[in-house]
A = this chain, B = another copy of it.
Amino acid sequence: MDTAERILRLLRQAPVVSGEVLSSNLGVSRAAVWKHVEALRASGYRIAALHARGYALTGVPDRLLPTEIEQHLTTERFGRRLECFETIDSTNLRAAALARAGAPEGMLVLAEQQTAGRGRLGRSWVSPARVNLYASFILRPRLVPADAPQLALAAAVAVVRALRALPGLAPERIAIKWPNDCLLDGRKIAGVLTEMDAEADRIRSVVLGIGVNLNAPARAFPPALRATATSVLLATGTRVDRPRFAAGLCAALEAVYDRVVGEGFAALAPEWEASSCLTGRSVRIEGGGRCSTGTVRGIDAAGRLVVAGPAGEERIMAGDVTIVDGYRMLAAADEERGR
C-alpha cells in the first residue's frame, strides 16, 4: 500500500485526523502529507482541511479505483488481483491475454469504458464511460468444456444476488433470461460472456465477462436499445455505489463459482429456476442452424432448457430465446394443425 492509500485508510477510520497523527503514523513530514492530500484531491477525493483540527474525508470519486473496491472486498480470491483501466478495447480480451500468461484464478479486469465491448454470439456490448460495470474474471475450473455452460448460468445467479443486495430494489423486479441475461422490470440490465481456452477434454482457463448497467442514463444507449435495455439508475432513480457493487459481485461470484465447481449446477438450479422469467412461457429458440418452439418447463441439472414442443420434450443446450406472444403462438399452433 502506498502512502496515499494509507492516508485514505486513516481518514476513513475517523471523522477528522490531524496532520500530526498522519505524519507520525506514516513516518513522513507534514509537508509530504500535504502533497499526498493534494494528489488525492486531484484524483477526485474531497478532503477538507479544518483549521487547527486536521483533515476530513468528505467525498470519494465515483470511480472504479482499486483502493475503493478493495475496502469492500470480502473474498478469498475473486478481485484480490485487480487491474482497473480508464479505457480499454475489451476487458475480456485483456483477461484472456492475462490468463494465457498464467494469471491466477479470481483475477479481475475492470474498465470505466470499453471501445470494443463484446457480447454473446459475436455481438457488441454498449459500454459508455464511468457509469456501468465492465468486469472480466479469470477462472481455472477443473471441468471439461461440456460443463462451461454451467459456469455461465452460475454467473447469472451471482449477478442476480449482487443486484438484489442493492438498497431499494425489490427482488422480484430482477429476473434471469436463459441462458444468462439478467433483466430488471423485463429489460436487459446485465449480460454474461463466457469465453474459454480449452483442449478437447480439458478447460485451461475461462474468462467470465460481466457487464452491468448501473448508472447509465437513457442517452447512453443507442436509440434501438432504449426500449429493451435499462440501468439501475433509470429503473429506480438511485445511483449505485459502483466500487461497492463490484466488491459485492466478487463475493457473490466466488460463492456460486465454488458451489458449481464443487457440486455441479444442480446445486444452484433451484435458485436459478426461481429467478427465471421463461418458465411457463411460449418461446422460440434459435441457434446452431435450428429453430425450436414450445413451452418452457424449466432447466435441468446440466443447465439445459427443457422445452415442451409439438414433437415432444426437448433439452436445449445453446440458443437465443424469444418470448412469443399469445397471438403468434396461436397462429403457429393453427399452422401445425393445418398440416
Q: Give the shortest distance, in Å, between A157 (CB) and chain B (any CB).
A: 14
A151: which B residues are within 8 A, CB to CB? Answer: 200
> Which of B121, B146, B199 is within 8 Å of A202, CB to CB?
B121
> Dominant SS at the A interface?
mixed
Interface string of A167-209 (1 = CB under 8 A from B): 0000000000001100000000000011111111110000000
Complex contact A146–B317 (CB within 8 A):
yes
Q: Is A288 interfacial (CB-CB < 8 Å)?
A: yes
Interface string of A297-332 (1 = CB under 8 A from B): 000000000000000000001110000000000000
> Given A152-B200, A152-B201, A199-B195 in contact, is the A289-B142 Cβ separation under 8 Å?
yes
Interface residue range, chain A: 20 to 34
Bound state CA distance, A179 and B289, in angstroms?
29
Complex contact B318–A148 (CB within 8 A):
no
Q: Which residues 63-102 of A sit at the B interface, judged by CB distance below 8 A? A: none
Bound state CA distance, A152 and B145, in angstroms?
13
Bound state CA distance, A179 and B201, in angstroms?
9
Complex contact A200–B148 (CB within 8 A):
yes
A202: which B residues are within 8 A, CB to CB? Answer: 121, 287-288, 318
Bound state CA distance, A195 and B145, in angstroms?
11
Bound state CA distance, A196 and B201, in angstroms?
10
Q: Is A149 interfacial (CB-CB < 8 Å)?
A: yes
Q: Is A60 interfacial (CB-CB < 8 Å)?
A: no
Complex contact B148–A145 (CB within 8 A):
yes
> Which of B148, B193, B197, B200 is within 8 Å of A149, CB to CB?
B200
A201: which B residues are within 8 A, CB to CB? Answer: 148-149, 152, 179, 287, 317-319
Which chain A residues have a beta carbon within 8 Å of chain B's beta carbons? 120-121, 142, 144-146, 148-149, 151-152, 179-180, 193-202, 287-289, 317-319
Pull 16 A–B residue pairs with CB atoms less than 8 Å apart, ordered by A: A142-B289, A144-B146, A144-B317, A144-B318, A145-B145, A145-B146, A146-B146, A149-B200, A152-B200, A152-B201, A179-B200, A180-B200, A195-B198, A196-B200, A197-B197, A201-B319
